[in-house]
Amino acid sequence: MNETMNLLIGLAMGLNLLALGSNRLPTVIRAMAVQGMALGLMPLLIEGQLNWRVILVAVATVVGKGIVIPTLLRRAMRAANIDREMEPFIGFVPSLLLGAGGTIAAVGLARLLPLLPEHAGSLLVPGALASVLTGFVLLIGRAKAISQVCGYLILENGIYLFGLLLIHSTPLLVEAGILLDLTVGVFVIGIIVDRIQRAFDSLDTRKLTVLRE
Amino acid sequence: MMAMLEMLLRLALWVLLAPLLPGIINRVKAWVAGRRGPPVLQLYYDLARLWQRGVVLSTLASPGFVVGPAVAWVAVLGAALLLPLGPAGSVFGFPGDVLLMIYLLALARFCTAWAAMETGSAFEGMGAAREVSYAVLTEAAIVAAVLSLSVQTGSVTLVTMLAPGTGAGAVLLAAGLFVVLLAENCRVPFDDPNTHLELTMIHEAMILDHSGPPLAVILHGAALKLLFFAVLLTEAVLPVGRLTSAAAAAVLVGGVLVVTVGVGLVESLLARLAFRRVPLLLTTAFLLCLFALLMAWKGGAA
């Protein structure tokens, strides 16, 4: 069980790097969606036995992160008619190296943390830290609003992974609330992206810092 | 006497089998494209024909123009002899021979670049500059791969080092080494061996002014390097050393064939990358090897 879990988290870590290294927006969205789905399966693996609550959380996460949110983002992308190449503030190679360095540091750091013995061998904590870091790099290093949204969602994946440590004590309502918040957030961002596009004829967030009458 | 004989046998094996690989790759490419393609033995014919031709020497060129390819060929062959062949071991393995292997490869590259610069032509200089700037990144990946193998086994001798682990680490290492193989041998995502457009080629640009036997030596050296990396990749991923001789030979041949067909398929299905995207792919290869190192380190400590 632990092996499968580590494999899934390893996959998520690889997808982090793919999102950092890719210069195409659809690839980043797909990486984020696959990552969300992989992480959505985690509660099933952690819990071991199946009860309706775990299945509900897993299904909601997979559908929400893997299908609904990416569809919303793709629609926003199509509606705003933006070109798919991304313009980085931080170049692809430096951000890839940053992400890899962060991942290695996270693995190193997690060994020093006083974790519960059942979490010691798993990649849960390093994976969470690495995803959060990747999200930060994407948020800071990309100019387009949609890629920043992707960064935000990857960051949220990291937080979700961290939250899995507490799966036994988090009520279902909290998880459902988080997921709902996220979906609404992406929905709102989709609208905002459209507005930015209309006002500035571009989604380049650099233009938002210039004041105009 | 026996050791001498064995070494000669291995030399003959490496030298004679190497030109087969580009032939297989071309066959795969032709098959994917629906053409009949050149015969598998085409490179042997080319080499034989080139060997009988004369050499055109530039008045600018120093003896380095001819010596460079020869030294490069010997260096690659030396590195190949260091590689253990499954349970048979290597002919002259010694502690730390992996470092010699890396340096021999670097020496080969230096000599090819040197010979290219000897002509004084701008194209060769450009090709050499490109080759060397890619090499900086591939060498980082090779060093990371070697480190991961050495951390895994706690040894710096090739014979004991090439006892691969299993699982995700081996997959990462295989992917990383495959990209390194493509880059080192100037195959498609990095360089197109068929191109003759001066502005885009790398390896071909370096050897534009070579002719006759030196060109034959360079071509054979390139094929040898391809075989060397295919064997290295197979042995770094599959536990060839622990099998019986017959099984090891079969696995080695099968592994090299799979790698070769893989190169052919990559070449048929992918377009070459734009120059500015190449460092990204090479960095990815480096990171794959680095993560294999991380897995080895974590696995060793746990």
User: Rounded to a whole number, what is the distance in angstroms from the first to the last CA of chain A?
Assistant: 60
**The predicted structure's pLDDT at residue B175:** 92
Q: With an 8 Å Cβ cutoff, is A121 touching chain B?
A: yes
Q: With an 8 Å Cβ cutoff, is B133 touching chain A?
A: no
Mean pLDDT across the stretch B279-287? Answer: 89
Q: With an 8 Å Cβ cutoff, is A93 touching chain B?
A: yes
Mean pLDDT across the stretch B36-52? Answer: 92
- Across the interface, of A7, A10, A92, the residue whose CB is closest to B280 is A92
- How far is A99 from A93, CA to CA, in rounded Å? 10
- How far is A77 from B165, CA to CA, in rounded Å? 44
Q: With an 8 Å Cβ cutoff, is B298 touching chain A?
A: yes
Per-residue pLDDT of chain A (213 residues; tens, 9 = 90+): 677 888 888 888 889 988 888 888 888 889 999 998 988 888 888 777 777 877 887 888 888 888 888 888 888 788 777 666 667 788 888 898 999 999 889 888 888 888 777 777 778 888 899 999 999 998 888 877 788 888 888 888 888 888 887 777 766 677 777 777 777 788 787 778 777 777 777 767 777 777 665
**The predicted structure's pLDDT at residue A34:** 92
Distance from CA of A106 to the nearest CA of B (A): 12
**The predicted structure's pLDDT at residue B73:** 95
- Across the interface, of A7, A92, A121, the residue whose CB is closest to B168 is A7
Regarding predicted confidence, which is higher, B273 or A105?
A105
Mean pLDDT across the stretch B282-291? Answer: 90
Q: Print burial letters for B99-130: b (CB count within 10 Å at least 16), e (below 16).
A: ebbeebbebbbbbbbbbbbbbebebbbbbbbb
**The predicted structure's pLDDT at residue A147:** 82
Chain B partners of A23 at a C-beta cutoff of 8 Å?
277
Regarding predicted confidence, which is higher, B155 or A172?
B155
- How far is A35 from B117, CA to CA, in rounded Å? 48
Mean pLDDT across the stretch B282-302? Answer: 80
Sorting pLDDT into bands at 50, 70 and 90, what band is B300?
low
| Partner-chain contact A97 B298, CB within 8 Å | no
Of A137, A109, A138, nearest to A123 by C-alpha is: A109
**The predicted structure's pLDDT at residue B266:** 92
- pLDDT tens digits for range B53-97: 988 888 888 888 999 999 999 999 999 999 888 777 777 778 888
Q: How many CB atoms lie within 10 A of CB A31?
A: 22
- How far is A205 from A146, CA to CA, in rounded Å? 10
Distance from CA of B59 to the nearest CA of A (A): 43
Query: DSSP 3-state assignment of A33?
Result: helix
- pLDDT tens digits for range B200-221: 678 888 888 888 899 999 999 9
Distance from CA of A116 to the nearest CA of B (A): 16
Distance from CA of B229 to the nearest CA of A (A): 25
Q: Which residues, 6 or more positions from B283, have their beta carbon under 8 angstroms from its beta carbon?
A: A21, A93, A96, A97, B137
Residues 2-41 of A with CB under 8 A from B: 7, 10, 17, 21, 23
Q: With an 8 Å Cβ cutoff, is A101 touching chain B?
A: no
Q: Which residues, 6 or more positions from A49, have their beta carbon under 8 angstroms from its beta carbon?
A: none
CB A87 within 8 A of CB B275: no
| Residue in A92, A119, A125 to test binding to B, most B beta-carbons within 10 Å | A92
Sorting pLDDT into bands at 50, 70 and 90, what band is B302?
very low
- pLDDT tens digits for range B167-197: 778 888 999 999 999 998 888 888 877 776 7
SS3 labels along chain B:
CHHHHHHHHHHHHHHHHCCHHHHHHHHHHHHHHCCCCCCCCHHHHHHHHHHHCCCCCCCCCCCHHHHHHHHHHHHHHHHHHHCCCHHHCCCCCCCCHHHHHHHHHHHHHHHHHHHHHHCCCHHHHHHHHHHHHHHHHHHHHHHHHHHHHHHHHCCCCHHHHCCCCCCHHHHHHHHHHHHHHHHHCCCCCCCCCCCCCCCCCCHHHHCCCCCHHHHHHHHHHHHHHHHHHHHHHHHHHCCHHHCCHHHHHHHHHHHHHHHHHHHHHHHHHCCCCCHHHHHHHHHHHHHHHHHHHHHHHHHHHC
Which span out of A160-169, B114-123, B229-238 was modeled with the highest average pLDDT? Answer: B229-238
The chain-wide mean pLDDT, for chain B, equals 87
Q: Find the residue in B nearest to A92 (Cα).
A: B280
**The predicted structure's pLDDT at residue A86:** 65
Chain B partners of A11 at a C-beta cutoff of 8 Å?
none
Percent of chain B with pLDDT over 90: 42
What sign results for the dihedral spanned by CA atoms A136, A137, A140, A142? negative
